[in-house]
Structure 1
Amino acid sequence: MTAPVAIVTGASRGIGAHLATALEDSGYAVERGSRSTAEVTDRAEVDAWVADIVARHGRVDLLVNNAGVIDAEVPLVDSDPDEWWRTVETNVRGPYLVTRAVLPHLTPETGRIVNLNSGAAYRNDDNATAYNLSKGALARLTSQLGLGEGRTALVFDLAPGVVRTDMTLGMQMHRGRTEWTSPAEVTDLLLAIARGDLDAWSGRLVRAGTDTVESLGARAREGLGDRDRTLGLVTWGADDPLG
């Protein structure tokens, strides 16, 4: 049998490199994406890259949408419009284009998509608003594809916690931080998703450093509500007409 095939965007450094290496160590043939391979916001480059991968391997078993950037940690009124929009394009248009190109070639029933997300998707904070907004949009994409009767594929939001990388070291909010999420905590969850151990969490968020494979499995066996670990409208109660 040939090795399962994984695509990891933004895999030249940081969390992406850790994820790609862990998959390779687990027997995957890994295609590592970077700006020199294909710019994820460029439709033509993405389509050509994925077509080349499929031509060589015949299929895709796992897509990890990891490529992402953060805008300046300043209030919206002080943000740079061009940087702000580039952040949204990278973090939303990028996963959209790669997912769109991969979906027709994803192995039936067992193919999976993992979107690297963040607790910022759920945070109300007037700093780095493009990043926060883009991660919220990505969470909705995950649930739209991976949850409910209209499910397109097995799709997961994986929040890596705070791993020590060039990106996090440069962020104001993490200055002076002494406790970090270990890469192993992130890769453990990714590999469990890839194996199918966490399929009950399709369309939902799991977080490294807080969740474990065991704790998520136990919670799933207890049963998950329709809105558990998803992004959506919180109504005021049973009498809310929008409920």
Structure 2
Amino acid sequence: MTARVAVVTGASRGIGRHVADALEAAGWVVERGSTAVAPVTDRAAVERWVADVVARHGRLDLLVNNAGVIDEEVPLADSDPDEWWHTVEVNVRGPYLMTRTALPHLAATGGRIVNINSGAAYRNYDIATAYNVSKGALARLTAATGIGGEHGVRAFDLAPGVVQTDMTLAMKAHEDRTEWTSPEEVTALLLAMADGQLDAWTGRMVRAGVDTVESLQERAEQGIGEGDRTLGLLRWGEDDPLS
């Protein structure tokens, strides 16, 4: 039986490395991406890489869009325009290009996409605004891919909580943090997504450290509303004309 094949971007360190290691331990063939392998913002490089993976393995079953950066933790007025736009490019253009390129191959295998997202997608912060904007946009990409798509590919937003990585250790917001989300909590959810155990949550966000495979399965059995765990407008009540 041919081993399942996964592509993980930004897998040289941090969450991406934990994810790639966990997939390999579970028997997956893992193609680890990095800037040296294929910059995710470079369309030609992304297309060459995915084509090479499929040519060598004959299939693609999972895409994990993990590669990401954060801009300086300052208010919008103090942000650097070039850094701001670079953050959006990496965090939005990257997953878009990877998803667009991988989609036909994933459709052929009934594959899945996991986008590593963040609580910044739906919380109102006044610093690191490019990161916040990019994660909100990523949630919309996940919904567009995973809800109602005719291609049959399921897509998920996985918010990892706050895992101790080079990125989080360098952030002012976590200078005094003493409690961290364990990598195992993240990889448990990801492996369940990859195996199809959480397909009911396609197009939606789950969070490591709060959700578990069991709690999400139990909730799915009770029923998931159309807007549950998606990014959308909060109406002021039934009389709100916006819907």
Paired AA for residue 45 in structure 2: E
Paired AA for residue 213 in structure 1: V
Residue 141 of structure 2 corresponds to: 141
Paired AA for residue 117 in structure 1: N
Moved more, 60-69 or 139-148: 139-148
Paired AA for residue 34 in structure 1: S
Residues 1-243 of structure 1 correspond to what in structure 2 (within 5 A)?
1-108=1-108, 110-148=110-148, 153-243=153-243
How far apart, in 1, do the equivalents of 2:174 and 2:150 lie? 39
How far apart, in 2, do the equivalents of 1:139 and 1:187 lie? 20
How far apart, in 1, do the equivalents of 2:14 and 2:85 lie? 23
SS at match of 1:106: helix
Moved more, 149-158 or 51-60: 149-158
Q: Deviations over 1:5-38 (max 9, x none)?
A: 0000000000000000000000100000000000
C-alpha contact (below 8 Å) 1:59/1:107 kept by paired residues:
no
Moved more, 228-237 or 8-17: 228-237
Q: Deviations over 1:199-240 (max 9, x none)?
A: 000000000000000000000100000000000111122222
How far apart, in 2, do the equivalents of 1:151 and 1:162 lie? 33
Paired AA for residue 210 in structure 1: V
Distance 1:59 1:149, change over 3 A: closer
Moved more, 72-81 or 149-158: 149-158
How far apart, in 1, do the equivalents of 2:152 and 2:84 lie? 30
Distance 1:108 1:221, change over 3 A: farther
Q: Deviations over 1:84-125 (max 9, x none)?
A: 000000000000001111001115463000000000001111
Q: Deviations over 1:135-194 (max 9, x none)?
A: 000000001111136575200000000000000000000001100000000000000001
TM-score (norm 1): 0.98
C-alpha contact (below 8 Å) 1:235/1:242 kept by paired residues:
yes
C-alpha contact (below 8 Å) 1:65/1:116 kept by paired residues:
yes
Distance 1:110 1:155, change over 3 A: same
Paired AA for residue 159 in structure 1: A
What is the total number of aligned residue pairs between the two structures? Answer: 243
Moved more, 98-107 or 5-14: 98-107
SS at match of 2:121: helix
Distance 1:107 1:150, change over 3 A: closer
Distance 1:125 1:158, change over 3 A: same
SS at match of 2:113: strand
- Structure 1 stretches of 4+ with a deviation exceeding 6 A read none
SS at match of 2:206: strand
SS at match of 1:115: strand
How far apart, in 2, do the equivalents of 1:150 and 1:55 lie? 25
C-alpha contact (below 8 Å) 1:111/1:153 kept by paired residues:
yes
Paired AA for residue 64 in structure 1: V
Paired AA for residue 157 in structure 1: D
C-alpha contact (below 8 Å) 1:145/1:152 kept by paired residues:
no
